[in-house]
Structure 1
Amino acid sequence: MFNISKKNIIVLIIFFLIFSLFFFSKKRSIPVYEKNKQQIEYEEIKRKINSQESKNLNKVENFIIKNNNIYGTLIAMELAKKYILNNNLDKAFTQLNHCLEYTKENNLKNILQLRMTKIKIQKNEYNQAMNIIKSITDKNWKNIVEHIKGDIFAKQNKNKEAIKCWKKSLLIESLNASREILRMKINELK
């Protein structure tokens, strides 16, 4: 008789586990649905950016304004890229700057600031570019910051400062390809 009750207990445990899994999966599916909804909307907006119609860009800009989250930031970066390719640097800068105001993740902020710096360099606004790049204070980004500062100085014909920044970057840089590029830049200005 003990064997029968042991079987019953095992069946009850299995039934309870299946019921628990079913119940908790239903309960968790509602927030997942909301995330999927945002992801689907994000993918639709991304497709609109890649289309050639300019009226779609207004919808994209509205999406960015409404979504002060990671989806809005990623779309703004995609839109800024499209603006840059169309040589509309002011609109690209505005999109990135808007995202910088609400983005909380430091590495993402640094990426936004790097892109903003590159836009200012393209517009030959070197002092503004230098101010933006100097605002990146994370030591993990030091090699990239010094590299770009060297590029800015080189554009301003401040060769000694450029070489000094590139040498700092060279000391920190771990990738051989990047180290070789830095060496070529240094040798070119010597």
Structure 2
Amino acid sequence: MSGSDLALDLNSARGTPESPGFTTPHGADPTVIALAERDGRAVQVLGLPSGYHVTFWSNGKDQGRGLASDTASVVGATAVWLRGVGLEQLAERYRFVSFSGLDLARERGNARAFQWASLADEKSSVYTELIRVAAEDPVLSRLFPRLGHKFVLFADEDAESPIATVFALGGHRYRIYSSAEGEIEFEGQATATVAYLVRRMK
């Protein structure tokens, strides 16, 4: 923005002493980044030529985001978020705030169920048949699914190492590799692939 200290600029715009104060994160450029925190929630502000990019965090997760045009909007939205207001109420009051369906599901405590339902609704994906069968399985549905060029299952949303990775071959067939060497461990249609994954996990 102007090249001045962003945290100081935002603190100057605060309406009351009770509203949360902004600081500069350790090692960050004070002209670009400011942070406000309270009780597991945080707001990070990035000063850009086009405005202020604001990210709303809860328990270490990026929950909402948006581009604000003025410091009053940044300060107001920050105060509301750090008081514990939910995403829907925040976005209703401050129109620059946006969030995804997964963000909202996470806030409501049903991120896993939302993720399964969302992926199963991907009608054009070559993985849709597999995902729909897996979503109905009592063992696999306890895991957290992710989808890109492959279908991956994790113990939970925060896990870094996958429990299983499945590749689509086309023709309603799927493949699992046994190791980094690329040896084929299993290949079959959706129902058989799910059954194999369940047996492998037991």
TM-score range, shorter chain: under 0.3
Q: Which has the higher helix share?
A: 1
TM-score after normalising by structure 2: 0.27
TM-score after normalising by structure 1: 0.28
Q: Which has the higher strand share?
A: 2
